[in-house]
Amino acid sequence: MAHIEASFFDRRFDDEKFSEKMVEALTQAVASVLGEEAGNDTSVILHSVEPSRWGYRGKLLG
């Protein structure tokens, strides 16, 4: 079983299809590497983060 957690800026979720597309794409990525059975047993959690709470290269992005 694969379990994937991924974080994105909250504005990505403004697109109504984003979550559906991302869950499908991540699941297909697992299936392409580990096989269809593993893809069928994959869970995905998407996190929404404000840019002001995301740090990169020692600085906040927001």
**34-56 per-position pLDDT tens digit:** 999 999 999 999 999 999 999 99
Using 50, 70 and 90 to split pLDDT, how confident is the model at 27? Answer: very high
C-beta separation of 39 from 4 below 8 A:
no
Instruction: List the domains of the chain with CATH numbers.
Output: 2-60 (3.30.429.10)
pTM across the whole model: 0.87
The pLDDT assigned to 19 comes to 98
